């Protein structure tokens, strides 16, 4: 008899725990997150996750979404597409998540877009700029502009603002992000009356660029376009300056965080980005101040894009009056509002229609700092 009572007590305890967990799940909205929190592009993932967590903190402090608290369940993909797939499967099977923010790089995001579409999981990519990302279907959105736009921005800025006549490009032949930017920079620069003096390439993980830089130096360009991520750009810039190439260097949003990972070699450097932290726009000022108070650093664009991604989902859930992924998807498609990275609507391919900014790297009070230089509209 005692044994039977003991068994019943255990079963009752399990039932209470299960009921408690079920109630907790019912009272919360789970958002999945996939980011590179370690590995070579970890700064992107950490910043994006910080931005999302800041947004969730604000949303929950204001009463949640329709009375429910938001919970972020995040996974580290290390910038590895295979691990992105594993993270997606874990979030959707074990955690039963139907809305995901991530991943950060284009290659990792592309690895899960078809899975998300087939399972009707709403996927918002904060920073995957490769043009084909949304081709998988109507459940795939992004918060950032696409590579053709920022490649074009870089080319126009170099010709029209920097008044460059000759350009050189050094790009990663094994990286779709780098290739897409290079191709669109070239089109825009040529269309603006410039000439391509040198077009050199390398392969991912290369460390020595001196052979290509020798050819670039001989071409004597006014500007060198470096469409890659901050770690590689920092290496190339150091070798460029060491060989006496003092031309302006121009890049794209992959430069985010470079001021914390490079030295004076990136001065006279400019890059296209999604927002300017020194903007006087009230939404930007509020976001930057809140981020600084929470993390004690100035947020780069990946933090702003993560923050906006969460608010896009929040606004869509409110407008849909539901957390059903299909209903939220329909509401996201109708987004028309002002966010930290600009006034945003979505085009027919679920790419945001919004402006880009050009940032200049300067030295202020002994510290490298990106400052706003120009806005380029779509």
Give the CA diameter of the chain: 93
CA angle 79, 287, 104 (to 5 degrees): 10
> Residue 12 above 50 pLDDT?
no
Q: How far apart are CA 371 and CA 270, in angstroms?
A: 9
Q: How far apart are CA 199 and CA 182, in angstroms?
A: 9
> Which CATH number is 11-145+280-346 given?
3.40.50.2300
Residues forming beta bridges with residue 344, ordered by sequence position: 337
Q: How far apart are CA 32 and CA 41, in angstroms?
A: 20
> Residue 19 above 50 pLDDT?
no
Q: What is the DSSP letter of 23?
A: H
**pLDDT > 90: what percent of the chain?**
84
pLDDT at 133: 95
Q: Which CATH number fits domain 148-273+358-376: 3.40.50.2300, 2.60.40.3880, 1.10.3290.10, 3.30.930.10?
A: 3.40.50.2300
Q: How far apart are CA 142 and CA 150, in angstroms?
A: 15
Q: Could you tell me which of 198, 200, 221 has the C-alpha nearest to residue 209?
A: 200
pLDDT in tens, 202-256: 999 999 999 999 999 999 999 999 999 999 999 999 999 999 999 999 999 899 8
Task: Let me know if the fold of 11-145+280-346 is the same as that of 148-273+358-376.
Answer: yes
Mean pLDDT to the nearest integer, 3-9: 48
Mean pLDDT to the nearest integer, 141-167: 94
What Rg value do the Cα atoms of the chain yield, rounded?
23
Domain ranges within the chain, ordered by starting residue: 11-145+280-346, 148-273+358-376
pLDDT at 269: 98
User: Please, what is the average pLDDT of the chain?
Assistant: 92
pLDDT in tens, 267-284: 999 999 999 999 999 999
Q: How far apart are CA 313 and CA 301, in angstroms?
A: 18
pLDDT at 148: 87
Q: How far apart are CA 321 and CA 168, in angstroms?
A: 52
Are the C-beta atoms of residues 172 and 228 closer than 8 Å to each other? yes
pTM of the model: 0.80
pLDDT in tens, 35-87: 999 998 899 999 999 999 999 999 999 999 999 999 999 999 999 999 999 99
Mean pLDDT to the nearest integer, 334-361: 94
pLDDT at 25: 53
Taking the CA atoms of residue 133, residue 137, residue 141 and residue 144 in that order, the dihedral angle to the nearest 10 degrees is 30
Q: How far apart are CA 47 and CA 55, in angstroms?
A: 12
Q: Could you tell me which of 254, 182, 253, 194 has the C-alpha nearest to residue 221?
A: 194
pLDDT in tens, 281-298: 999 999 999 999 999 999
> Residue 4 above 80 pLDDT?
no
Per-residue pLDDT band at 376 (split at 50, 70, 90): confident
**pLDDT > 70: what percent of the chain?**
93
Are the C-beta atoms of residues 308 and 302 closer than 8 Å to each other? no
């Amino acid at each position: 008899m005692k044994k039977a009572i003991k068994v019943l007590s255990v079963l009752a305890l399990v039932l209470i725990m299960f009921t408690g967990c079920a109630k907790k799940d019912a009272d919360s909205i789970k958002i999945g997150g996939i980011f590179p929190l370690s590995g070579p592009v970890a700064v992107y993932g950490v910043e994006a996750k910080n931005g999302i967590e800041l947004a969730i903190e604000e949303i929950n402090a204001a009463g949640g979404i329709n009375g429910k608290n938001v919970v972020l369940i995040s996974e580290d993909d290390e910038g590895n597409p295979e691990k992105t797939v594993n993270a997606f499967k874990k979030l959707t099977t074990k955690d039963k998540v139907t809305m995901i923010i991530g991943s950060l790089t284009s290659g990792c995001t592309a690895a899960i877009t078809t899975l998300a579409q087939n399972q009707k999981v709403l996927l918002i990519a904060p920073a995957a700029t490769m043009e084909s990302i949304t081709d998988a279907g109507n459940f795939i959105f992004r918060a950032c502009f696409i590579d053709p736009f920022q490649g074009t921005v870089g080319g126009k800025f170099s010709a029209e603002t920097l008044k460059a006549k000759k350009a050189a490009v050094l790009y990663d032949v094994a990286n779709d992000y780098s290739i897409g930017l290079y191709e669109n920079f070239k089109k825009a620069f040529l269309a603006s009356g410039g000439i391509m003096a040198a077009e050199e390439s390398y392969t991912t993980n290369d460390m020595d660029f001196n052979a290509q830089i020798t050819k670039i130096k001989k071409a004597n360009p006014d500007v060198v376009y470096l469409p890659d991520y901050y770690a590689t750009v920092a290496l190339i810039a150091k070798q460029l300056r060491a060989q006496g190439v003092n031309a302006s260097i121009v890049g794209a949003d992959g430069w985010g965080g470079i001021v914390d990972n490079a030295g004076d070699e990136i001065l006279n450097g400019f890059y296209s980005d999604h927002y300017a932290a020194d903007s006087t726009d009230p939404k930007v000022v509020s976001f930057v101040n809140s981020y600084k108070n929470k993390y004690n650093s100035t947020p780069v664009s990946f933090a702003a894009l993560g923050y906006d991604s969460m608010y896009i989902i929040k606004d869509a859930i409110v407008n849909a009056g539901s957390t059903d992924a299909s209903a939220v998807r329909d509401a996201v498609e109708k987004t028309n509002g002002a966010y930290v990275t600009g006034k945003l609507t979505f085009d027919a391919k679920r790419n945001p229609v919004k402006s880009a900014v050009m940032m200049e790297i300067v030295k202020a009070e002994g510290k490298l700092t990106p400052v706003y230089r120009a806005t380029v509209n779509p």
